[in-house]
Each structure stands twice: as structure tokens, then as C-alpha cells.
Amino acid sequence: MKKISVVIPMYNEEEVALTCYERITKVVKTLENYETEIIIVNDGSRDGTLNIIEELAQKDKNLKVISFSRNFGHQAAVTAGLKETTGDAVIIIDADMQDPPELIKDMILLWEQGNDVIYAVRKNRRGESMFKLLTAKMFYKILYSMSDTKIPKDTGDFRLVDRKVVDVINALPEHNKYLRGLFSWAGFKQKPIKYNREERKYGKTKYPLKKMFKLAFDGIVSFSNKPLKMIGTIGILSVLLSFVVFVYAVLSYMFKWNNLVPGWSSIIICIAFFSGVQLISIWIMSEYISRIYDETRNRPEYIIDKKINFNKEN
């Protein structure tokens, strides 16, 4: 019998944890021809999430729980979940029920037809702020144009992934993973499935601007070298520009075009402009260097505090 694993990352989701468990279990129970397991990863929640899922795991031995020692972030939580799965196919789904679990059945059908990655594409995103919609749209556009791997737009982590692709991802040593990019990068047979993204009915988003920015940055820096190359282009342009300014300064001195202005304002503008360019360049480079540093340090991506219901197989 084939086995399906479901991975759910949770960070401060006490309002929805129970509903989420119930709705997903309901769908999973209807998969009669498959063995199933549900893995919830508690990403260092500071509310009652862990209590709720621990209680559920006592009653339901099919529910496995991984609990982090602190908040390591959504991508780390999914990574940890993937590592522990034993199914022939793995479904990754958010806890907040914005991704309808009922879609899982359609995903499995497509998987049985020979597709390896079935990723859910948001047809519309209800109930999200103008700001989030706009920044998300901009981000996916920039990433799409910059990256060598064509990462599909409007796609989150909600997807079904075949065992062979999961094994590829699990074997990757890199940190600061941008999973949705890596799944496209891995190749194999990819298939989109469209759906309407629900409003978040319970609790608030766990992606404040800071986390969104980090995810966006990870996406761009791990999938594109263009920011590095941009430094060169900007450098050449600024040298050309300064040359023009230099010629202008010499000519205006020789022909006394503006002997009223001593010219220091233009110098100030130049200094400001070029030190700005330098700072931006250094900043971009430091982002890459900090990633090299991250990799060489080889610190684990997450720390597990507790595992529940895993003893059966391990």
C-alpha cells in the first residue's frame, strides 16, 4: 500500500490548531487506499499550540509531532518535517486553512497520473491587504525575471511532492532554503493546480514584514547572481558619469561658463552619489558573503526539542 505524509508547520496557531487537525484528518481518513501519517512541526510557538497538539497526539498515534526549541522560521519547519516523512508522496500545507485540504484528493489523482510535483497556484487571494498583494506581486515578478530557474508565480508551499523529489531536497546541504524555488529547481514532472486562496479566518498572519523580506531575499539570493552582476554595471555607469562631470567641469573652467558658482555643490552631490553606490554594492556583497559564512559554519538549520509518536518506526 502506498503511503501519504502530510507536513504542517505551526507557529502560534492555537486558534486554528484543532480545526486544522480535524479538517485535515477528515480528508486523510477518506484516503482509504493509502496508509497515511500527519506530521505537525511546532516552530517554537509561544502560545498554547504545543499543548493542543500534544494532547491530540496522545489520542492519535498517526499524528507525529516535532517541536523546535525556538522559532526557526517557516522554511526550517517544513525542512524538518520533510526529513521525517516516510510516505511515497508528501503534502505540505499551511496550518491556517488558507489552503483548502480538500484539494489534497485532486493532488493525489494527478500524482497517480505520473506527476512528481503538484503545486497549488493561487487564482485569487481573498482577504489579504493591498500592501501584501502588491509586494507579493512585485516580488514574484522580480524573482521570475532574475532567476535562472523559472519559479512559478503566485505559488506558495502548498503542494504534493513525490518521494524521489523529497529525497533530493533532503540531501541538499544548503541553509536559508527557499523551498518553493528548490522544488522547481529539482525538475521532474511538475504540474500546477489552480485554487482560490481563502481568507485567514483564525489568528493573524505569522509573516510580519521582516519575515516576508527575509523570505524574499532568500529567494532572490539563492536563485540569482544578478545582484552581484548589477554591481559591475552600476560601477561602470558611475565611472562614465563621473567622466562626463569631469569634462563639464574642465570646460566650464576654461570657458568661464559659470564663474559665479564655486562648484562645491556639484562636488557634494558627486560624493553623496558615489558613496551611495559604494554602500549599496558593499551591502549586496555582504549578503552573499554572510551566506557563505552561514554555509561554512554548518550550524544546524533547526534544533528539535521533542518528538512524539515516532518510536514506532525509528
What is the torsional sign of CA 292, 301, 146, 237? negative
Q: What backbone torsions phi and psi does residue 109 show, to the nearest 5 degrees?
A: -60, -45
Q: Does the footprint of ligand UDP cover residue 219 (CB under 6 A)? A: no
Is there a contact between 274 and 266 (Cβ–Cβ < 8 Å)?
A: no
Task: Using alpha carbons, list the distances in angstroms from residue 113 to 15, 19, 157, 311.
Answer: 37, 31, 21, 33
Q: Does the footprint of ligand UDP cover residue 207 (CB under 6 A)? A: yes
Nearest distance from C-beta of residue 161 to ligand UDP, angstroms:
17
* Residue 45, number of CB atoms within 10 A of its CB: 22
- Residue 71 CB partners (closer than 8 Å, separation 6+): 11, 43, 44, 45, 46
Q: Does the footprint of ligand UDP cover residue 14 (CB under 6 A)? A: no
Report what 206 binds from Mg ion, ligand UDP, none; CB cut-off 5-8 Å by kind.
ligand UDP
Cross-strand bridge partners of residue 5 = 37, 90
Q: Residue 227: enclosing H or E segment and its boundaries?
A: helix 226-254
Cross-strand bridge partners of residue 89 = 4, 162
Span 98-117, contacts to Mg ion by CB under 5 A: 98
- Residue 77 CB partners (closer than 8 Å, separation 6+): 9, 10, 11, 41, 43, 68, 302
Calpha distance 201→221 (Å, rounded): 33
Q: Does the footprint of Mg ion cover residue 43 (CB under 5 A)? A: no
Question: Pattern of binders to Mg ion over 173-212, x per CB under 5 A?
Answer: ----------------------------------------
Report what 207 binds from ligand UDP, Mg ion, none; CB cut-off 5-8 Å by kind.
ligand UDP
Q: Does the footprint of ligand UDP cover residue 10 (CB under 6 A)? A: yes
Closest to ligand UDP by CB, 53 or 281: 53
Position among 37, 84, 96, 162 found at the interface with ligand UDP (CB under 6 A):
96
Position among 25, 73, 82, 218 found at the interface with ligand UDP (CB under 6 A):
73
User: What is the distance between the terminal CA atoms of the chain, rounded to a whole angstrom?
Assistant: 19
Position among 13, 96, 116, 301 found at the interface with Mg ion (CB under 5 A):
96
Nearest distance from C-beta of residue 9 to ligand UDP, angstroms:
3
Position among 177, 206, 220, 302 found at the interface with ligand UDP (CB under 6 A):
206
Report what 184 binds from Mg ion, ligand UDP, none; CB cut-off 5-8 Å by kind.
none
Q: How many residues bind Mg ion (CB under 5 A)?
A: 2
Q: Does the footprint of ligand UDP cover residue 11 (CB under 6 A)? A: yes
Q: Considering only 72-80, 174-182, 232-240, 257-265, which stretch makes contact with ligand UDP by CB under 6 A? A: 72-80
3-state secondary structure of 201: coil
Q: Does the footprint of ligand UDP cover residue 43 (CB under 6 A)? A: yes
CA dihedral 285, 287, 291, 293 (to 10 degrees): 70
Which amino acid is present at 272? A
Q: Does the footprint of ligand UDP cover residue 177 (CB under 6 A)? A: no
Rounded (10°) angle between helices 17-29 and 103-112: 40
Closest to ligand UDP by CB, 212 or 234: 212
Q: Does the footprint of ligand UDP cover residue 77 (CB under 6 A)? A: yes
Calpha distance 109→96 (Å, rounded): 24
Report what 162 binds from Mg ion, ligand UDP, none; CB cut-off 5-8 Å by kind.
none
Query: Which residues of this protein are in contact with Mg ion, per CB under 5 A?
Result: 96, 98
Residues engaged in binding ligand UDP (CB under 6 A): 9-11, 13, 43, 71, 73-74, 77, 94-96, 98, 205-207
